[in-house]
Homo-oligomer: A and B are copies of this chain.
């Protein structure tokens, strides 16, 4: 390994310049791949850099260029069920672009958020992502004014009018599920919806209805029942309610995998065979889905892709369009709770 310290201190641009017999300007140009450097000088400088193990100090560079090559994620809930995958997407594109990702957890506390935003701005961050890991819904405007030169988007949540949000295409995802069921022979499909105060439930319901109609099936309101919570226990009860109302149902689309586990249990307790008598589809593609009996067909949220989109947006050169609602497509994960 080459010597990268001199007198116990890091090698600087100046050290390289001295060693290579040029000035700091020239070394800087080489580092930044400028064209106005002669080939032999460039070569010599590069060799010196390698020999000395020089690495540019990004703090100094940041001071000079007024950029920090850093983006920040500010989340309400770092322990949200979807946060890791969303973050992974952001980290992935950021890392590929040699940007760093700062992480802040506001716990939904405005004062805390204001303090954190303030610190982030002090750090000269280049961009900002407001993220929810739990639930799509409105987020109030930033707890402190964000300077104009710092672009920001909302991820898995949305801000005030005029801002940009990256969201899953819940409606399309629901349609995917219904199409899949119909393809596999289902004709009496019911929708086991989640709590109606969650926005995703309205979108998924819309997708359900639209898909039925598009396929020439009646979309009557008796086919839909909303569970008061997302708990499997309520999924169980709601499934039973649906069954009583629509005894000839041959498929059930559940608004979440959790609800679907309850539904599966209810069907099992009634002696209904899945998928032969009734087919079941969930939503979210949580890890528990694969461990159900039978393994649950479900609609996967494009979490990583959404994180990547958010990252690309804030890192992109072009300004972020106003009032953009970027819907990222879901995908269907076929397992054994639907026919093959």
Contact = CB atoms under 8 A, between A and B. Distances in A.
A55 B118 contact: yes
Interface string A79-118: 1100111011001100100101111110000001000101
Contacts of A83: 84
A68 interface: yes
Interface stretch (A18-26, A35-43, A121-129, A270-278): A121-129
Contact of A55 (B56, B59, B73, B122): B122
B68 A79 contact: no
A73 to B, nearest CB: 8
Contact of A116 (B1, B95, B104, B258): B95
Nearest to A79: B84
B102 A102 contact: yes
Contacts of A116: 95
Given A87-B78, A122-B57, A145-B1, A100 B102 contact: yes
Tallying the copies of this chain within the complex gives 2
A179 interface: no
A119 interface: yes
A199 to B, nearest CB: 22
29 contacts: A55-B121, A56-B122, A57-B124, A58-B122, A58-B123, A58-B124, A59-B68, A59-B123, A63-B63, A70-B102, A79-B84, A79-B88, A80-B84, A83-B84, A84-B84, A88-B105, A91-B103, A91-B105, A95-B104, A95-B105, A95-B112, A95-B116, A98-B119, A100-B104, A101-B103, A101-B104, A102-B103, A258-B291, A288-B288
Interface of A: 1, 55-60, 62-63, 68, 70, 73, 78-80, 83-85, 87-88, 91-92, 95, 98, 100-105, 112, 116, 118-124, 133, 145, 231-233, 258, 288, 291
Which 7 pairs show the lowest CB-CB distances between chains A and B?
Answer: A78-B88, A79-B84, A59-B62, A58-B122, A91-B105, A101-B103, A59-B63
